[in-house]
Amino acid sequence: MNQDSLKIASGMLRAVVAGASCDDVAKQYGASKSAVSQRIRLLASTLQQIVGVDGVDEDVSPSARLIREHGESYLEALDHFVPDAAIPPSEGDQQAVAAHLQYLVQRIQRHSRCVQRDTALLLTLFSTAAKPLEIAQLEVRDYLDAAGAVRERATIRAQIAINHCERILHFRNNATNAAIDAYLAERVTHGQGTHLALTYRGLDPHSRLFLTRSGDAFQVKQAGTHSHHAVCKEIHEIFRRIFALGGHSGINTAMARRLAAYRLHVDGANAEEIGAALGVKILAVHKLLQPFEGRSRPPRVIANAINVASSFSGGRPAVGRTA
């Protein structure tokens, strides 16, 4: 999408969010209704996949109703959109992912105001392929057992899962676990989400696994008065800041799930199994795999990008098939 097309599509999107009908927008721009609808849907879909739209799945097909319902979130994503940030699905670009994740960790060490947490968030995103909204609602008990040991086979509870279905969540990635452990130790030092018992390493098991810098839980609320979708603007903003540290590389939250889906695919999982592992429908699985069509096997670095521990400490694959 060139700059002129982006400018037109952005104007159309803003008009629809403001309440204009596609017919009204078509008259304003001297275009057909179908052309307006196509431009708006293409831009909305791009925003979902490249930037992330609070409360909207990256692979859902955006309708005018959905865009209006989440208008504020679409406009916020549009403000953060950089067209060149989309990475084409060429093998050379994918080979840069693992190296760029390492670079991001280094940038976090230098520039983040919450180094331990942001490092843990980035690695958790790519090693578990959980969605930002799900990560924002994880609790200490989802990561640790009462004795303080890391749960190798945890679950994303149905209450916080995007599709409201419990699914397996693996914490067996050495680099990710080390980062989370360092963050939790820092929390204990600062008295954030702690309790007096010796269980759960002194942390309240029902406190969130990740907190704001001030030690509060991330705010999760409904997208709108009549919406059934939950949103957490804070967690999305943190990830945007993290990815911005690396420039406009195209690394984003949606890429973590695309790479995870591909890794499961080459490991022999079918669409139904991939959907169960990632908490998405079969149609969404096909969309996740589209950038990799025509590849017989993944380059080694793609596996490393999915399994961040491979890039840092040689850990085992972090995204597994359901039992």
Segments making up each domain of the chain, as ranges: 3-85, 90-323
User: For the chain, percent helix, then strand, then coil, each to nearest 5?
Assistant: 55, 5, 35
Burial class (CB in 10 A: 0-12, 13-18, 19+), 278: buried
Amino acid at 75: L
Exposed e or buried b for every residue in 23-45, given b needs 16+ CB within 10 A?
eebbeeeebeeeebbebbbebbb
CA 34 to chain CA centroid, nearest Å: 31
Q: Please give the pLDDT value at position 249.
A: 66
Strand partners, 156: 167
Q: Please give the pLDDT value at position 320.
A: 41
Q: Which residues of the chain have pLDDT under 70?
A: 1, 84-96, 224-227, 248-250, 294-323
User: How far apart are the C-alpha atoms of 221 and 239, rounded to whole Å?
Assistant: 18
Q: Please give the pLDDT value at position 30.
A: 92
Strand partners, 208: 139
Closest CA to 100 of 291, 308, 268: 308
pTM of the model: 0.77
Burial class (CB in 10 A: 0-12, 13-18, 19+), 4: exposed
Q: Please give the pLDDT value at position 303.
A: 41
Query: Who's near 159: CB < 8 A, 6+ residues apart?
Result: 137
Whether domain 90-323 has CATH 1.10.490.10: the reply is: no
Given a contact cutoff of 8 angstroms between Cβ atoms, the answer to whether 151 and 220 are in contact is: no
Burial class (CB in 10 A: 0-12, 13-18, 19+), 173: buried
Interior CA angle at 142 toward 303 and 125, to 5°? Answer: 30
Q: Please give the pLDDT value at position 321.
A: 36
